[in-house]
């Protein structure tokens, strides 16, 4: 349940960082806006919703999140167009996925009205933090974590939900070089690979670090059973264009149902392109390279948006994709998504929420 009113109190910062912030040198996830939305779950209800200055949390050393990993999050973006209008892209889908993650991690669901009103009021308050240059946005991070001060393996009885924001440029500043991972495993069937749980990312760091030491930006994960089938990349779903067909692995209990992924597939079908969501063997991709039938490969995600893949490493060899400027589909879809986000193209699927 929720408190009877959504009259969320706002405590404005007395020391805004905005006058000193350099919007010409944005790094992803490095700097944060002036305020954050916070609400706590206690005694079976959400209470004490507030917007306060961005600050540290006071956590006990025995906090359940530290010891047992009940922590989930989302990622979305706000954009500002040339008219100064502020747009959120598919926020209700992020809300739904957050609660899907919460259920799997045995955490309380966040009510939709609370999520949306807290989000909108926060964005309205910090709207001057939204960059307006091409390729820039305000990255939004909602997250939920356990707060019980108790060492014992059980679901926490108390939680905190918060939203913080960060002006951001591109996640990847260049086309990405990826390595197919055939030893380590990101997710297993029946596990939590399909939710945005913090532990999924923690377990991926060591293999990713090893790949980066070899000169790759990210991994392409494979199935846990045989390491023969492509799943997703470290921060993205992954898609290929082979023989003019858009192909991507189907979502499952090991693959995140990406919102950008869904947007790309929806637009591709709108355009009459053949789309296949099916299992993809690594050997099929290598065969397409050898036959010259693969014309595009890219990752999709809120942070990465559309990330062109330049190289795919496998079994000691690097397979090079066509030059980015020659790729028809990924460039077209990237441009179309940006136009929809900025209200420069029709929003047929009602993806964009304008904030007054």
**Range 180-198 average pLDDT:** 95
Q: Is the residue at 2 inside a domain?
A: no
Q: Is the residue at 337 inside a domain?
A: yes
Task: Clarify whether residues 71 and 94 are in a common domain.
Answer: yes
Task: Clarify whether residues 159 and 235 are in a common domain.
Answer: no
Q: Output the domain CATH number for residue 28.
A: 3.30.470.10
Task: Render pLDDT for 256-267 as a digit per residue (tens, 0 to 9).
Answer: 999 999 999 999
Task: Clarify whether residues 162 and 208 are in a common domain.
Answer: no
Residue 287: how many other CB atoms lie within 10 Å = 13
Distance CA 98, CA 51 (A): 20
The H or E element spanning position 268 is: helix 259-270
Task: Clarify whether residues 281 and 207 are in a common domain.
Answer: yes
Q: Is the residue at 5 inside a domain?
A: no
Q: Is the residue at 1 inside a domain?
A: no
Task: Render pLDDT for 10-40 as a digit per residue (tens, 0 to 9).
Answer: 999 999 999 999 999 888 889 999 999 999 9
pLDDT score, position 228:
97
pLDDT score, position 4:
40
Where do the DSSP E strands lie in the chain? 35-42, 45-53, 71-73, 76-80, 86-89, 137-146, 159-168, 176-180, 218-222, 230-233, 237-242, 245-248, 275-277, 294-301, 305-314, 317-320, 352-355
Task: Clarify whether residues 184 and 327 are in a common domain.
Answer: yes
240 Cβ neighbours under 8 A, 6+ residues apart: 246, 247, 248, 280, 285, 288, 294, 296, 297
Q: Is the residue at 229 inside a domain?
A: yes
End of a domain among 149, 168, 187? 168
Task: Render pLDDT for 61-107 as a digit per residue (tens, 0 to 9).
Answer: 999 999 999 999 999 999 998 888 999 999 999 999 999 999 999 99
End of a domain among 135, 168, 201? 168
Tokens of 27: 């790094």
Distance CA 130, CA 136 (A): 8
Task: Clarify whether residues 137 and 109 are in a common domain.
Answer: yes
Task: Render pLDDT for 120-175 as a digit per residue (tens, 0 to 9).
Answer: 999 999 999 999 888 899 999 999 999 999 999 999 999 999 999 999 988 888 99
Task: Clarify whether residues 164 and 180 are in a common domain.
Answer: no
**Range 325-342 average pLDDT:** 96
Q: Output the domain CATH number for residue 321.
A: 3.20.10.10
Task: Render pLDDT for 32-64 as a digit per residue (tens, 0 to 9).
Answer: 999 999 999 999 999 999 999 999 999 999 999
Q: Is the residue at 351 inside a domain?
A: no
Domain extent for 76: 18-168
The number of folded domains in the chain is 2
Q: Is the residue at 4 inside a domain?
A: no
Res. 202: pLDDT tops 80: yes
Task: Clarify whether residues 213 and 276 are in a common domain.
Answer: yes
Task: Render pLDDT for 214-249 as a digit per residue (tens, 0 to 9).
Answer: 999 999 999 999 999 999 998 899 999 999 999 999
Task: Clarify whether residues 133 and 190 are in a common domain.
Answer: no
Task: Clarify whether residues 180 and 325 are in a common domain.
Answer: yes
End of a domain among 136, 168, 200? 168
Q: Is the residue at 12 inside a domain?
A: no
Task: Clarify whether residues 234 and 271 are in a common domain.
Answer: yes
Residue 58: how many other CB atoms lie within 10 Å = 6
Task: Clarify whether residues 141 and 228 are in a common domain.
Answer: no
């Amino acid at each position: 349940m929720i408190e009877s009113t959504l009259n969320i109190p706002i405590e404005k910062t007395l020391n805004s960082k905005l006058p000193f912030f350099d919007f010409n040198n944005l790094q992803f996830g490095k700097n944060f806006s002036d305020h954050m939305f916070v609400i706590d779950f206690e005694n079976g209800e959400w209470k004490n919703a507030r917007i306060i200055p961005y600050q540290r949390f006071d956590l006990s050393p025995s906090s359940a999140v530290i010891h047992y990993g009940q922590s989930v999050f989302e990622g979305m973006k706000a954009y500002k167009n040339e008219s100064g209008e502020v747009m959120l892209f598919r926020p209700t889908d992020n809300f739904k996925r957050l609660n899907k993650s919460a259920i799997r991690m045995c955490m309380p669901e966040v009510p939709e009205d609370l999520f949306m009103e807290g989000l909108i009021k926060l964005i309205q308050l910090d709207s001057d933090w939204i960059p307006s240059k091409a390729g820039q946005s305000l990255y939004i991070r909602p997250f939920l974590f356990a707060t019980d001060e108790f060492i014992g393996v059980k679901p926490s009885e108390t939680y905190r939900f918060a939203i913080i924001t960060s002006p951001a440029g591109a996640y990847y500043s260049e086309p990405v070089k990826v390595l197919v991972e055939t030893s380590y495993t990101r997710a297993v069937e029946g596990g939590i690979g399909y939710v945005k749980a913090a532990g999924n990312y923690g377990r991926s760091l060591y293999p990713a670090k090893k790949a980066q030491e070899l000169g790759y930006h990210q991994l392409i994960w494979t199935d846990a059973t045989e390491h023969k089938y492509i799943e997703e990349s470290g921060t993205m779903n992954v898609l290929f264009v082979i023989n003019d067909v858009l192909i991507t692995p189907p979502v499952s209990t090991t693959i995140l149902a990406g919102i950008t992924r869904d947007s790309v597939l929806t637009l591709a079908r709108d355009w009459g392109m053949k789309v296949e969501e099916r299992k993809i063997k690594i050997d099929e991709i290598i065969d397409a390279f050898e036959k010259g039938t693969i014309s595009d490969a890219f990752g999709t995600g809120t942070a990465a948006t559309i990330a062109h893949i330049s190289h795919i490493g496998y079994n000691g060899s690097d397979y090079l994709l066509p030059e980015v400027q020659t790729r028809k589909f990924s460039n077209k879809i990237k441009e179309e998504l940006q136009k929809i986000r900025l209200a420069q193209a029709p929003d047929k699927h009602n993806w964009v929420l304008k904030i007054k």
